[in-house]
């Protein structure tokens, strides 16, 4: 099983006396995994560990069964996009991708083919022959992404890949991540844009001060946070009446009318019982329900519950 996963086994990494990450054990499956945490929480350290750019002080890291101290094998399977804007100033977008494919060991003709495929994938064929130094921030981010995926890796490690992208490019990039995840690849993304990460992630890893605070599917993580009642939004035609009928029941901790007057925010400690109760009340009162959805089952909320104000700024 570990052959198809990224595995951290009791990994710690210290920079002198400063903690990078501590006692991390993870097993990351295929699909899109988001690393979430404030600056200094250990996201980049985890990414650098899984790409072998730094070695763990303790523990072992393997990617698809390959130890991370074997760059010759590892980087056949891994593509890495750092958070830094780092380009040889005089190269064109095409030359930039082509040169790094040659470093991978592709022949010139294979590298050429893969370069054009990658450029097409990130919608940059039109600017291929322009110097990267003249690219906009968004274009530079995209070409950086292209160099990570040009050699067709099974694992993509992307450090803040959405930074600097305009909304259109961001939507396209997220769609690309989704597509890459659906192809059966591992896409590990760190991002500060939580609501977007939330939309695309199959699983999240929440980090704080070098520790993994929670990991798994976001709904699963949310249900583990017992001390914060779940918030559910019910949109219906008579929210005031619904609130009155729900108040007396023990499943309901709090019920609050939505600001637009067309819905009700309910806090509950037992979501399953609440849904049964809601069915009953709706049928009895003859309410027309438009929507019932968890209101805080997202990365942002979970992060705030688990880490508090520290994550609020993210």
What count of Cα atoms within 13 Å lies in the side-chain half-sphere of residue 246? 28
**Shortest distance (Å) from residue 212 CB to other proteins:** 19
Rounded distance between C-alpha atoms, residue 3 and residue 240, angstroms:
54
Distance of closest approach, residue 205 Cβ to other proteins, in angstroms: 15
* Nearer of residues 104 and 192 to other proteins, judged by Cβ: 104
Pick from 10, 67, 85, 199: which binds other proteins (CB under 8 A)?
85
- Does 184 bind other proteins (CB under 8 A)? Our answer is yes
Provide the β-strand partners of residue 300: none
Q: Give the integer Cα–Cα distance in Å for 31 and 156.
A: 10
Residue 125 in tokens: 């064929």
Q: How far is the CB of 87 from other proteins (least distance, A)?
A: 7
Residue 107 makes contact with other proteins by CB under 8 A: yes
Q: Two tokens at 200? A: 């695309």
User: Distance between CA 286 and CA 292 in Å, rounded?
Assistant: 16
Tell me which of 67, 71, 134, 308 binds other proteins, using CB under 8 A: 71
Residue 275: both structure tokens together:
């849904």
Is residue 110 near other proteins by the rule CB under 8 A? yes
What are the distances in angstroms from CA 63 to CA 10, 177, 225, 289? 15, 19, 30, 47
Euclidean distance between CA atoms 231 and 271, whole angstroms: 9
Q: Report the residue number, 29 or 67, with the smaller CB distance to other proteins.
A: 29
Closer by beta carbon to other proteins, 9 or else 77: 77
Please report whether residue 90 would count as binding other proteins according to CB under 8 A.
yes
Site of tokens 């590298």: 111
Nearest-approach distance from CB 40 to other proteins, in angstroms: 9
By CB under 8 A, tell whether 99 contacts other proteins.
yes
By CB under 8 A, tell whether 27 contacts other proteins. Answer: no
The set of residues, in sequence order, having a beta carbon less than 8 Å from that of 145 and lying 6+ positions away, is: 81, 122, 158, 161, 173, 176
**289 contacts other proteins (rule: CB under 8 A):** no
Site residues (vs other proteins, CB under 8 A): 15-16, 18, 20, 29-31, 48, 51-54, 71-80, 82, 84-91, 95, 99-100, 102-107, 110, 114, 147-148, 151-154, 181-185, 202, 217
């Amino acid at each position: 099983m570990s052959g198809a996963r990224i595995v951290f086994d009791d990994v710690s990494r210290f920079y002198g006396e400063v903690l990078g990450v501590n006692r991390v054990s993870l097993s990351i499956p295929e699909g899109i995994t988001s690393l979430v945490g404030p600056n200094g929480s250990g996201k980049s350290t985890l990414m650098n560990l899984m790409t072998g750019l730094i070695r763990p002080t303790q523990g072992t890291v393997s990617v698809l069964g390959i130890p991370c101290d074997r760059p010759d094998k590892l980087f056949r399977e891994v593509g890495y996009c750092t958070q830094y804007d780092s380009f040889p100033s005089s190269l064109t977008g095409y030359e930039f991708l082509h040169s790094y494919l040659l470093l991978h060991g592709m022949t010139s003709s294979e590298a050429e083919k893969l370069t054009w495929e990658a450029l097409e994938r990130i919608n940059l064929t039109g600017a291929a022959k322009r110097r990267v130094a003249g690219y906009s921030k968004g274009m530079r981010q995209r070409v950086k992404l292209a160099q990570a995926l040009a050699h067709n890796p099974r694992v993509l490690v992307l450090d803040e890949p959405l930074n600097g992208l305009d909304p259109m490019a961001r939507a396209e990039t997220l769609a690309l991540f989704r597509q890459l995840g659906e192809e059966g690849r591992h896409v590990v993304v760190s991002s500060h844009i939580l609501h977007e990460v939330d939309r695309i992630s199959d699983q999240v890893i929440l980090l704080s001060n070098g520790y993994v605070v929670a990991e798994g599917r976001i709904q699963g993580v949310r249900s583990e946070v017992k001390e914060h009642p779940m918030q559910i939004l019910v949109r219906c035609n008579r929210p005031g009446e619904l609130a009155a009928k729900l108040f007396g029941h023990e499943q309901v901790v709090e019920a609050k009318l939505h600001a637009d007057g067309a819905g009700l925010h309910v806090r509950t400690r037992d979501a399953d019982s609440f849904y049964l109760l809601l069915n009953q009340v709706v049928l009895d009162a003859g309410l027309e329900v438009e929507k019932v959805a968890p209101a805080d089952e997202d990365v942002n909320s979970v992060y705030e519950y688990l880490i508090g104000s520290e994550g609020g700024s993210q």
